[in-house]
Amino acid sequence: YVEQWAGRRLRDILDTRGCDMEPDGILAHHGLNSWYGACRRRSAQDGAMLRNWRTGRHRSRLLTGHTDEVFCLLRKGPLLLSGSQDSTIRLWDVHSGAQLDCWTRHTSWVSCLCADELHANSICSGGHDGTIRFWDLERRQQSQTIDFEGACAVHGSVDTDGAPGGQRYILTMQPFDERSMLVGSMDKTIRLLDLRTGLVSGAMRGHSSYVSCLLSLPGGVELLSASGDSQIRQWDLRTMSCVDIRSFHTDPVTCLRRRGSELISSSEDGSLKFWEQNVVQHSHVRDEIWGFDYNERFLVNGCERGTIEVRDACDGRLRYLLEGHVGPVGSMVVSDDCVISASEDSVIRIWDFDSLRAHDAQREGEGEEVEEALPACVVPVLPAGAP
């Protein structure tokens, strides 16, 4: 019952008969059971947080520890993992900002992190050292290593053009099933890796530049891949063949996501494309887009100049900017209450839109950056009061 109230507008909740506002800002309903009152309190909090999202009011926190560019983020509940050019994976507590661990098994850049959909307490990482490593979050230790570089050599799928030194730098990964992983790399190839044997069982070629991202389609037999060649290709995994090519962008494609039946892609050409089958809509941006994520109401993208743009998730219209990074923002995680962003400046930022936590931080005088008013960088685009 509580979840039914999530995301409701505060003014809609206040129209409920027999409901009023207590002095501390919590909704009260007379004569109802405690669970119903808790539901109303949750609604008031969600309404306040939604107002903060709409106006750009937030609390900003920094997570420092990496010594070089941060390439990728992965959130697992209250835990955040980050991979960096400093060859480390760091584990953070999202709520406190504390660094919980630092894993140093990779010997070169950590370029991607991926959740293990079959094992809740496991994640995997890929890097420029040509290895894929699996990690146990409960024990905080490595559980498996696969030599992807060696597996490619055994398979004979060598394509060194565009891969310095002949190395298969791992750029993106996508679980295929409980036994296999799809891996996109610098050498323009997508490979199907058998996790039990550590060997490559198939390869897909067609891109003329590095493979930047992979996305499985519903049904598990089709895959989308994006590349530095500006193309998005669709593959049939049963035949390992390309069945469609989409040229929506004019520069490298940086991110590809699915939202229901709709697909969203971003590019260094400064555009976001919202497409479904052959129908394409776009939202033009003034800067290169390095990555994006979204929640139910907002789409958030990171730009080359270090800004973060918060957009309406329905039509892509810009609402305001968030500033704080001094390098390109290439990775982000968006949830209901916050945006987590990573940049080439080696810093991770948490932009917290939960008004209650922001209020508590200001009241207790914590030594963290708290932005209770509209920051100077906010650029409102929609009319005031727009839903």
Highest mean pLDDT among 68-72, 309-313, 382-386: 68-72
Q: Is residue 129 one of the residues assigned to a domain?
A: yes
Least-confidence region, from 63-72, 165-174, 273-282: 273-282
pTM > 0.95: yes or no: no
Same domain, 241 and 263: no
SS3 per residue for the chain: CHHHHCCCCHHHHHCCCCEEECCCCCEEECCCCHHHHHHHHHHHHHHHHHHHHHHCCEEEEEECCCCCCEEEEEEECCEEEEEECCCCEEEEECCCCCEEEEECCCCCCEEEEEECCCCCCEEEEEECCCEEEEEECCCCEEEEEEEHHHHHHHHCCCCCCCCHHHCCCEEEEEEEECCEEEEEECCCEEEEEECCCCEEEEEEECCCCCEEEEEECCCCCEEEEEECCCCEEEEECCCCEEEEEECCCCCCEEEEEEECCEEEEEECCCEEEEEECCEEEEEECCCCEEEEEECCCEEEEEECCCCEEEEECCCCCEEEEECCCCCCEEEEEECCCEEEEEECCCCEEEEECCHHHHHHHHHHCCCCCEECCCCCCCCCCCCCCCC
Same domain, 311 and 212: no
Give the per-residue pLDDT at 21.
Answer: 37
Q: Is residue 86 one of the residues assigned to a domain?
A: no
- Residue 276, pLDDT > 70, answer yes
- Band (pLDDT 50/70/90 cuts) for residue 156 is low
Q: Is residue 380 one of the residues assigned to a domain?
A: yes
- Residue 374, pLDDT > 50, answer no
Same domain, 259 and 324: yes
pLDDT tens for each residue of 87-142: 999 999 999 999 999 999 999 999 999 998 777 889 999 999 999 999 999 999 99
- Residue 316, pLDDT > 90, answer no
Same domain, 47 and 63: no
- Give me the number of domains the chain comprises: 3
Q: Is residue 138 one of the residues assigned to a domain?
A: yes
Give the per-residue pLDDT at 279.
Answer: 61
Q: Is residue 314 one of the residues assigned to a domain?
A: yes
- Band (pLDDT 50/70/90 cuts) for residue 277 is low
Q: Is residue 97 one of the residues assigned to a domain?
A: no
Which residue in the block uniquely carries the two structure tokens 């949830």? Answer: 335
Same domain, 110 and 48: no
Give the per-residue pLDDT at 280.
Answer: 61
pLDDT tens for each residue of 220-232: 899 999 999 999 9
Same domain, 239 and 275: no
Residue 30, Cβ density class (10 Å: 0-12 exposed, 13-18 middle, ≥19 buried)? exposed
Give the per-residue pLDDT at 59.
Answer: 87
Q: Is residue 98 one of the residues assigned to a domain?
A: no
**DSSP structural state of residue 228:** T
Domain residues for the domain of 30 are: 2-52
Give the per-residue pLDDT at 153.
Answer: 66
Same domain, 328 and 262: yes
Same domain, 267 and 224: no
- Choose between 148 and 43: higher pLDDT: 148
- Choose between 154 and 215: higher pLDDT: 215
Query: Residue 378: how many CA atoms within 13 Å on its side-chain side?
Result: 15
- Choose between 378 and 18: higher pLDDT: 378
- Residue 369, pLDDT > 50, answer no
Question: What's the chain's average pLDDT?
Answer: 79
**Residue 109's domain is classified under what CATH number?**
2.130.10.10
- Choose between 2 and 371: higher pLDDT: 371
The neighbouring-strand residues paired with 351 are: 60, 339
